[in-house]
Amino acid sequence: MNRLMKPPPDRVRAQLRQPVATLDTPALVIDLDALERNVQRMAAFAKQHKIRWRPHGKAHKSADIALSLMQAGAVGACVQKTSEAEALANGLVNDIYISNEVIDRPKLLRVARLAHLLAAERGRLAIAVDSLEGVQRLAAAIERFETETDGSDPAMVGESLMDVFVEIDVGQGRCGVEPGHAAVALAVEIARHSALRFAGLQAYHGGAQHVRGVAERQGVIEQAARAIRRTRDQLEAAGYEVPLVTGGGTGSFALEAATGVWGEMQPGSFLFMDADYGRNDADPAQPAFEHSLFVKTQVMSRGYDRAICDAGHKSHAVDSGMPRVHSLGRVGDLVYSNGGDEHGILRAADADGWLPEIGETLWLIPGHCDPTINLHDQMFGVRGGLQDGVVERIIPVDARGAVS
């Protein structure tokens, strides 16, 4: 695996130390000051509540950011895809959890290869399973890889190669076995394979993240916690200790931490706080996070009742709704509406409201940060604010297009 970071093209690299005003549009920009405050608040929360945090790399898709989060106290990174794990490992991230099922046999050989690579560098790879077939295919892939490559490490004799979490469905209705006895059967199967270690339970409720009201979110999380407790009790009764319960997201992690059931949380969007998360009612038990991810755009056309900017669907994801226009202190709100692949239509929220002129810069808060970042090759880290700041970092999106 090539571990050399590909340098940005000269045109992109030339933006370093330049005013943010010089960035071509559309551009994906991180307000580094806001981002770092978000990280500090999350680190302080985790320390106060004595809970591990493993931020989800599917949000930022960047080895650079993953490493900076680990320096701030995160135990490692989560990903959803094998190719995301490979991209982060290629950037020297050495503690990675694929919090998703992998079933394809050729892909599982890549998982086995990556597990050996990380183990050789004193790192660790973990994965989630929710079927007997998944456990058996994973164990077979490791055995096949070691047979074909003579990849067994004498130093690891008697030790497991991979941590395996059993995913239970705590209410989302997506992946995961039913809580209770079905999880016990998977723990039994994991124990049959010396290369695998039962590491605990994957318990993530994605639907809870965008339940707007705090009381309603709390009700969903309490129901999930009951399912976990029931599963844990049955596992322990069968002789299987549950070392860790991992899960939780940006919309619910404070509620999950308060239950005492989860030992590790996986929020990723807290770094950026997209427009959709901004619509949640604030939980007073949770740190207040700031918007730090923006699409810089420019007005390219102007009508009597609208302005047209150059950031359309190719610049930001719309699965969670249209972006919100960041006011930057201006009087009067603008509303962004669908203009197609290359255009955004901006209208004043009020009949007599302000409209920007041709050439003016605007800043969009994406509706959903994860797929927005996946549309860009790099993010420009700006220090000193969006209006007067300077480009301090160019952050490659290492796992752009890593969907396999």
Per-residue pLDDT tens digits for 299-353: 999 999 999 999 999 999 999 999 999 977 665 699 999 999 999 999 999 888 8
% of the chain residues with pLDDT over 90? 90
- Taking the C-alpha atoms of residue 269 and residue 289, their distance in angstroms, rounded to an integer, is 10
Q: What angle do CA 285, 245, 373 make, to 5 degrees?
A: 70
Rounded distance, CA 398 to CA 402, Å? 9
Cβ proximity of 368 and 17 under 8 Å: no
Residue 157 has pLDDT above 50, yes or no: no
What is the mean pLDDT of the segment spanning 72-100?
98
pLDDT given at position 1: 44
3-state secondary structure of 97: strand
What is d(CA 379, CA 372) in angstroms, rounded to the nearest whole number? 11
Q: Is 390 exposed, middle or buried (0-12, 13-18, 19+ CB in 10 A)?
A: middle
Q: Which positions ≥6 away from 96 have C-beta within 8 Å?
A: 57, 76, 77, 78, 79, 85, 88, 89, 114, 118, 123, 124, 125, 126
Which tens digit of pLDDT belongs to each residue from 22-58? 999 999 999 999 999 999 999 999 999 999 999 999 9
The pLDDT mean for the chain works out to 94
pLDDT tens-digit map of 123-153: 999 999 999 999 999 999 999 999 998 765 5
What are the tens digits of pLDDT across the range 6-19?
555 788 888 899 99
Helices (H), 91-192: 105-120, 132-149, 181-191
What type of residue is 176?
G
Q: For residues 206 and 249, is the Cβ–Cβ distance under 8 A?
A: yes
Q: What percent of the chain is predicted at pLDDT more than 70?
A: 95
Which pLDDT tens digit goes with each residue over 99-126? 999 999 999 999 999 999 999 999 999 9
- What b/e string do you get for 311-321 counting C-beta neighbours within 10 Å, with b at 16 or more? bbbebbbbebe
Q: Are 112 and 102 a contacting pair, CB within 8 Å?
A: no
Report the alpha-carbon distance of residue 68 to residue 379 in Å, rounded: 15
Tell me the CA distances in angstroms from 350 to 100, 321, 346, 347, 362, one per residue in order: 45, 20, 12, 9, 18
Kindly state the average pLDDT of the residues 76-87.
98
pLDDT computed for residue 151 by the predictor: 60
The runs of H, that is alpha helices, within 74-131 are 82-90, 105-120
Residue appearing with tokens 């270690």: 197
Is the pLDDT confidence value at 261 over 90?
yes
Rounded to 10°, the helix 132-149/105-120 angle is 60
Top-confidence residue, 154 or 384: 384
Specify the 3-state DSSP secondary structure of 112. Answer: helix
List the Cα angle 250/254/256 in 5-degree steps: 95
